[in-house]
Amino acid sequence: MLFTGKTFFITGASRGIGKAIALKLASEGANIVIAAKSTEENPKLGGTIYSAAKEIEKAGGKALPVQCDIRSEDMIIEAVQQTIETFGFIDGVVNNASAISLTTTEQTETKRFDLMHDINVRGTFLVTKHCIPHLRKSDNPHILTLSPPISLDPKWFGPHVAYTMAKYNMSMMTIGWAEELKHSGIAANSLWPVTTIGTAAVQNLLGGDYLTQRSRKPEILADAAFHIFKQDAKTYTGNLFLDEDVLREAGITDLSMYSVKPGGELQTDLFVEV
């Protein structure tokens, strides 16, 4: 298996896209650190760090469930320390944890603004910061952040400027890290879906059954992440990827298997130009 002995630190891996990436890597023998908040199941969202750990080990990997709210630097430091004590090293970081609020300026509560920036921006920055010293020791280290291509088209700002700022900050960090860390041989890339992804968050918070049925499964991002992590970190860096482009490069052109509703119409995701 391609990633036997490799260790990936994944935020928000208890469910959704993060868990799908974890299961894909686990099926290739990877060690997975599930750095997420959920220790008790939320009926609306499902999944905990412990239930994800069972699935990961069933898939063929080793799992380390660590309760970690990435708004807390102390919890991040502790999670990284547990990772090193358990597996010895870190080969990849997936900055997946994210908060969303598609609200105008007046509609955006201060606590929601702070949440998006504490998780999406500050949390992503601090997770990466504390993993970098260990990534330097890997023979093919990757940082992968779930964030979009950057477009300054006003249509992406007007309806939800606070959320757009938070997600674009994640992408700007990718560009910055690719440049900053190139002499250390650490790759930094972002990955974003062309269509909406059928997760519990989409079902319960954004669009219900209507949007879920027009979405793709999280596995499309897992397969794209898998392809990215196979590449040479010294040269495959500084990209704000769309999932379809990555899979096309990997030779996968029939994407029908990823649709929640086979043959159904698909909803283009935010920040994607059609």
- Any catalytic annotation for residue 50? no
Distance separating alpha carbons of residues 197 and 122, to the nearest angstrom: 24
Do 28 and 3 form a contact (C-beta atoms < 8 A)? Answer: yes
* Helix residue ranges, H only, 108-207: 110-116, 124-135, 161-180, 200-201
CB burial of 50-75 (b: ≥16 within 10 Å; e: otherwise) equals bbbbebbeebbbbbbbbbbbbbeeeb
Active-site pick, 163, 168, 236, 258 = 163
Count CB neighbours of 148 within 10 A. Answer: 22
- Rounded to whole angstroms, how far apart are CA atoms 201 and 185? 35
- What SS3 state is found at 9? strand
**Which residues are annotated as catalytic?**
163
